[in-house]
Structure 1
Amino acid sequence: MEERKRKGSITTRRKWKKFQTLSSTSSSKLQHHAHGNNTIFALMLAALSADSNKPIIERCLNQLRLSLLSKTPKQTLPIPILSLLPVLLNNKCAEIVSNCAEIVGAASIFSFEMNEQIASDGEVVKGLVSAVGSTKMNVLMAACNAILDLSTTSIGRQRLLEFSAMESLIFGFLQVPKSSITSVSLRTEEKGGETCFRIGLKEDELPVLLLDAAITLINTCNIEQLEKMPRKLSETLLAYLKKLWEKVHKQMLHGTIQASIQEGHFYVSNIRTNNLAESIFRLSINTGQFTTPFDFKLIKRSIFGWEESSFQHFMLNHWEVSPLCIRRLSNALAKQDDIFSSFVQSLDFKEARPSFSSILQNLISCPPIASDELDILSFLKEAKNHLGYPILYQQDIRVLKTQQSEKEVHFFQECSGSCCVQAPQFLYIDDILRCEEAYTEGYTVALRGVEFRFASIAAIADGLASLFGQPSAGANIYLTPPNSQGLARHCDDHCVLVCQLIGVKQWTIYPLLSLQLPRLYESVDSLHNLEVERLRMDGRKQFLLKEGDVLYIPRGFAHEASTVVDNNGPNETAGFSLHLTLSVEVEPPFE
């Protein structure tokens, strides 16, 4: 036994001398000669059999890493060397594991072919994931960087997920020491012609690398992979990411974004704000933090009354035929089982002049989603570059009033010096505060996509969609000051249920101008070109909605509304109105 070890040691030393001579040539020349790779393989294989030959292995790995810098197109790792990587990644020597992980990382970004070659070798990927659990800092850093490099291709990300790299990274991130209060900074950069924000964290490099790699893989998962993640692990990370998001969102909202981040104070990650927003959404799927819809029977009772015949009467006599006002008791919203009460209470509108800027500051932009979209991850893939931004004018919010019952005037189109008139028209903190100013000047604040912003409204919208057998239902809210009109006369391509939450509002609904109802997404902006006298025919109907009342408006029926003072009501001094519109988009199969 000793004789074999002695002979092996002598052989290794002889090959080492030969390798030293070979190393004096350029690394590119070594790369282009098969005997160079064979020598590296032979040296490492021989050195692995003797614990005392660590310097030889390190020298071989360094030479191999240098050879990867030559950037020869479509180069691949020699199969013999590739076969040694799992052994090296599981070596007892931290320096060898670290150097090997760096080789794997360098190879992964050398070319697509080499990345695919690394990813296809399950033992290499397994060894890399195993290195993430190391207690040695240099090994952990090298493994994280290698995983990030391997993650630059879809096949690399999928293979890492197969070997539970995501769980290992999340566990490592939660275990590594971090600042109790993480400071953040944002840096602008251009990507694909669009401006995006990279996040800088006042942390050591290691936790940032772990988080970066974990978010990359989280945003690659399908539903099944997300559901397999340990619940406690995802919940703990989700809590951290939400706290981080609060700081990131505040930075965006206040416009404290830099062209560059001082490296000495913050570690600039590859995490962008939209990546963080997407990972929070995906983890919410796994932790079950989605709203449970109200039962459609509760929706039916709350809107149409407790008697079954009330809903049947509505469907037989009014659905897509004529408007209907459903009167409620004056104290309906005060009942604990009312579907709107929790939302109204959360607004805390106690004053005659409601304050809503704090609500707007917590909102983010919601990219439009088709009502029949069934694959949420497919939608995320398409919209991922637009996630997490401040609210966007027109898409998310409008601030407008109608003058002389015809012309709509938008507040931010009239103002100069506002951030939101720039493209894209995001509303930052100064603009949100100016919404309060606009309100005092008679402008209505209209917020779209409320079903994505408030859990209580989401439960109502989903229950309503179930009631009418549709994929989804939308929701908007409108806050109108006294003696004002928000939207001009118009008609919609979907049916609307107007729910009066606070105050009173006068509605005028005009007769249907065509026997053919507008189809979904069909343009209905031609009302201003119609003859005014025809709209003012005797068939128009007026409804004064009070708190708790619900007004049904079929698609295609022109309508307009304004605030009035209810001299007979208890809130006659309030004057403002808050109403919620629930939209039922009738899909062609339902027609």
Structure 2
Amino acid sequence: MGNPDGARKKKRRKRSGGEAAASFDRDVFPILLAAVAPATGPNQRASSAATAARLLRRLLPRSPPPPPLSPLPGPLVALLPLLLTSSSHSVAALSCEVMGAAALQSMEAGEALASDGGIASGLARALGSGSQRVAEAACNAVMDLSASSIGREHLSGSPVLPRLLYLFSQVESISGAVGGGSTGCQARVSEPSKCLNLIIDTVVLMVNSCKVDKLHNLQQELVRKVMHLLYEVWSKVRLLQSSADCSNGKDQLQSRPYEISEAIFRLSMDLAYPAHLEPDEVRKSFFGQTESDFEKFALMYWENSPYLYRKKQSGLEGDAVFTALHNAFDLRTPDAIIESFIQDLVSCPAIASDELNINSFLDEVHDSLGAAVKYRQDVRVVRTPDQTSTGSGIEEHFFDDGTVFPDATAFVEKCKGAIRNGFSIALRGMEFRSEKVAAIASALADLFGQPSVGANIYFSPPRSQGLARHYDDHCVLVWQLLGRKKWKIWPNTKSILPRLYEPFHSLDGLVDDRGGRVEVLREGDIMYVPRGHVHEACTDIDEGESEVNASANYSLHLTLAIEVELPFEWEGFTHIALHCWLEEQKLVGSSGSVESRMEEQAPLFALLLHVAIRLLSDKDPTLRKTCMVAAKLPSSSKSVRSSHRSIFDEILDNIDRNCGFEDALRSVELAVKERNDEPFQWMCWLRHLPQQQQQHGRSSRIGFCDVLGPLEELLDMFSSDRERASADFADFKSRFCRRAMYDDACSEFEALLVLYRAGRTRYAKGMLALHGKHGG
């Protein structure tokens, strides 16, 4: 006969979840509640804490028996905010461990705990308790609760993140922090180092999980201190990467280098940087002290012909902008110059021209952010030693395409050797690598009313030519910083300016070697080269000329590229004007009439007119020129502002006369027939303009990044009576050209520029931070 007592014991061990929860409510909850209630004396507090700690340990998973309570009962969850802030370090730490265990056992339980505001606040207080044991347990709990994207999102937007940053900011030295991978070589990791590594891992995870707009609310001085510390950690991890790779233990730093670099990038994006210049300061340095100097340049030379502003050598010291830039480089020797702009570089991956959401960029490059520089993408080391029969030399490159330089020291030494062999160094993206250059580029972008200005630095040895003869698809301002360089520039023989990213044409027939304008730039001189103008440059030092400075026979110059993107050409302004006028028609349209029918078809007529305007830009030079209606011009530049209105009026007149229905419709028919909307991808930027959601009860939005559907609808609408459609289109076009409001378009143009500038500025700040420039 069996043992009845044993059977009862087995049954008790197999109690249902409901019975276990009831037992918790009856036996455990009162004791835990007493542990967090105010006590009358130290002995009572100690006794209650010890009992509570024993009970919490019983809730933790043990092997082989499973945890007795899963998920955590509601009463325990309700007590957790108090338990986490208990004055007993054991109670607080064990509460963190219980939560972590529950989260690891059930993702749903972890998400529920992470979304509880009281628990998040309790975790934040636990992080700041002052106890290493509690802080470590709280960090582990944060990591466990962040196993899912939902958990990470909730915690990163809670008080946990600022408390974590504060906890990390109190670290006096990161000498105990070690990089993942190679750090497993150490025999053991000290307890303080283990805790520091855990804090760093948790900070990186939370920062990279936080929405960008939430990071903006963090206290700036706190962010700066954390960035400095993270940069030290990142530098150490990158250095350790070059050593032998060893096993990565659980107590080592788990964050990958690209995860740390992303955290640095994210924290930097909304910091205020002290290196700031007003557009007027840069205008005076580049074009002359009087306001009329820039007005003359804008009306006579811009996108028309080269311009040289020769500085007086005696006045260079009084030019604060030039002096600041000049002092940014160590000009004592050629080797020192190279080290001053090549040292500690990281790659600057391109951001799509119409990408305004920095989160999309980070998603795209998250595993390569902060990588070593890449040849051609970031740097070129090139020379043009010989002239061909046509007068245009063939470039020789010191490195192969796509070469990556993980060993920074070796890269610098190779560049020094290349210079001694007649090669020039061209480094792009200086506005992402130098605060002083970034300030100049930003002020120039404001002055010309453009989203951004790129900056490259060129260093050439004596009697050499770097880049071969070429033309650019952007306008360039060349600033000679050291030595001198001889330039030869040929007139642009084509009336249509080259557009960004369009294929380059052969130079055959574009230049006559016997012609061309020759200028020698000396230190401080600035020369403007419009897009489309063929040019070449070489160092030009006469034999027998003596120089005191060992570097003076070398040339160092900065180029500032004003890249005019499609939305900010006059064509783009015209598309914006059409969009604004169409939105106004939607607001005033009335239902039920013939006029209403026309208004319902207006979005498709507008789509076709967008296509026709694009086709017209291949013939009308004005549409490809820069629209500067948002430029921060001097107050006296009335003639420049007046010219903007005149240009717009001329464009509207040209559209009314020359935008054809048939040409536009044929291009639409071809795209629909071939199921190919690639020729219309230029429209994507129009998605950034606001559109009305509904028109007469139906959607009137156009998806400018996926236009095949609307194009098919357009063809269907016109197929029944093409002659009538052509007449209706002509009427629509004529009404737009008569009624388009310049001021409305200006407002929307400026709003779009603000969006573009915000995205580019965040990118620039992130890249500056990865080059050790932390904004303070």
**Which category of TM-score, normalised to the shorter sequence, fits these structures?**
0.7 to 0.9
Residues 85 and 92, structure 2, Cα contact 8 Å, conserved in 1:
yes
Aligned equivalents of 2:252, 2:302: Cα separation in 1: 56
Give deviations 1:310-360, integer Å, cap 9, x for gaps: 22222222211222222222344x314342222222312123665423542
2:143 to 131, 142, 148: 148
SS of structure 1 residue aligned to 2:253: strand
How does the TM-score come out when normalised to structure 1? 0.80
Q: Alpha-carbon deviation of 1:437?
A: 0.5
Q: Which residue in the other structure is 1:106 paired with? A: 101
Q: Which is further off, 235-244 or 505-514?
A: 235-244
5 Å-filtered alignment, 1:105-144, equals 105-144=100-139
**2:197 matches 1:208:** yes
Q: Which residue in the other structure is 1:434 paired with? A: 414
Flag the 1:322–1:201 CA change in 2: closer, same or farther, 3 A.
farther
Amino acid at match of 2:181: R
Q: Which is further off, 79-88 or 355-364?
A: 79-88
Residues 186 and 258, structure 1, Cα contact 8 Å, conserved in 2:
no
Q: Which residue in the other structure is 1:234 paired with? A: 223
**2:555 matches 1:577:** yes
Amino acid at match of 1:397: V
Amino acid at match of 1:256: S
Q: Alpha-carbon deviation of 1:440?
A: 0.4
Q: Alpha-carbon deviation of 1:443?
A: 0.8
Structure 1 residue runs of 5 or longer lacking an equivalent are 1-16, 190-199, 414-420
5 Å-filtered alignment, 1:503-514, equals 503-514=483-494
Q: Alpha-carbon deviation of 1:470?
A: 0.3
Aligned equivalents of 2:266, 2:441: Cα separation in 1: 21
Residues 360 and 432, structure 1, Cα contact 8 Å, conserved in 2:
yes
Aligned equivalents of 2:498, 2:66: Cα separation in 1: 64
Q: Percent identity?
A: 37
Residues 444 and 453, structure 2, Cα contact 8 Å, conserved in 1:
yes
Q: Which residue in the other structure is 1:404 paired with? A: 386
For the aligned residue pairs, the C-alpha RMSD in angstroms reads: 3.6
Aligned equivalents of 1:159, 1:262: Cα separation in 2: 29
Q: Alpha-carbon deviation of 1:433?
A: 0.9
Flag the 1:510–1:112 CA change in 2: closer, same or farther, 3 A.
farther
Q: Alpha-carbon deviation of 1:557?
A: 1.8
Aligned equivalents of 2:478, 2:111: Cα separation in 1: 56
Residues 29 and 75, structure 2, Cα contact 8 Å, conserved in 1:
no
Residues 344 and 408, structure 2, Cα contact 8 Å, conserved in 1:
no
Residues 226 and 283, structure 1, Cα contact 8 Å, conserved in 2:
yes
Q: Alpha-carbon deviation of 1:589?
A: 3.3
Q: Alpha-carbon deviation of 1:399?
A: 0.9
Aligned equivalents of 1:404, 1:132: Cα separation in 2: 66
Q: Which is further off, 163-172 or 497-506?
A: 163-172
**2:518 matches 1:542:** yes
Residues 480 and 523, structure 2, Cα contact 8 Å, conserved in 1:
yes
**2:313 matches 1:319:** no
Aligned equivalents of 1:45, 1:296: Cα separation in 2: 67
Aligned equivalents of 1:62, 1:520: Cα separation in 2: 67
Flag the 1:232–1:549 CA change in 2: closer, same or farther, 3 A.
closer
Give deviations 1:132-185, integer Å, cap 9, x for gaps: 233444333221100122233343234334441122223333446x65744644
Q: Which residue in the other structure is 1:481 paired with? A: 461
**2:291 matches 1:308:** yes
Residues 496 and 552, structure 1, Cα contact 8 Å, conserved in 2:
yes
Give deviations 1:533-581, integer Å, cap 9, x for gaps: 5432655322222222222111122222111114697749842111110
Residues 470 and 535, structure 2, Cα contact 8 Å, conserved in 1:
yes
Amino acid at match of 1:205: K
User: Which one has the bigger strand percentage?
Assistant: 1
Amino acid at match of 2:245: Q
Aligned equivalents of 1:139, 1:105: Cα separation in 2: 13
SS of structure 1 residue aligned to 2:181: strand
Residues 477 and 528, structure 2, Cα contact 8 Å, conserved in 1:
yes
Amino acid at match of 2:61: R
Q: Which is further off, 271-280 or 474-483?
A: 271-280
SS of structure 2 residue aligned to 1:204: helix
Q: Which residue in the other structure is 1:195 paired with? A: none
SS of structure 2 residue aligned to 1:105: helix
Flag the 1:21–1:343 CA change in 2: closer, same or farther, 3 A.
farther
Aligned equivalents of 2:454, 2:65: Cα separation in 1: 55
SS of structure 2 residue aligned to 1:271: coil
Q: Alpha-carbon deviation of 1:464?
A: 0.6
Flag the 1:464–1:217 CA change in 2: closer, same or farther, 3 A.
same
Q: Alpha-carbon deviation of 1:278?
A: 3.2
SS of structure 2 residue aligned to 1:311: helix
Residues 453 and 561, structure 2, Cα contact 8 Å, conserved in 1:
yes
**2:23 matches 1:39:** yes
Flag the 1:534–1:94 CA change in 2: closer, same or farther, 3 A.
closer
5 Å-filtered alignment, 1:267-286, equals 267-285=251-269
Q: Alpha-carbon deviation of 1:232?
A: 4.3
Flag the 1:326–1:568 CA change in 2: closer, same or farther, 3 A.
farther
2:166 to 149, 160, 171: 171
5 Å-filtered alignment, 1:215-294, equals 215-222=204-211, 224-251=213-240, 255-256=242-243, 258-261=245-248, 267-285=251-269, 288-289=272-273, 291-292=275-276, 294=277
User: Which one has the bigger helix percentage?
Assistant: 2
Amino acid at match of 1:289: Y
Aligned equivalents of 2:139, 2:160: Cα separation in 1: 10
Instruction: Count residues with an aligned counterpart.
Output: 538
Q: Which is further off, 124-133 or 557-566?
A: 124-133
Aligned equivalents of 1:496, 1:131: Cα separation in 2: 56
SS of structure 1 residue aligned to 2:328: helix
Give deviations 1:281-317, integer Å, cap 9, x for gaps: 444456533531x221222211111233322222222
Residues 186 and 256, structure 1, Cα contact 8 Å, conserved in 2:
no
Amino acid at match of 2:486: Q
Residues 396 and 447, structure 1, Cα contact 8 Å, conserved in 2:
yes
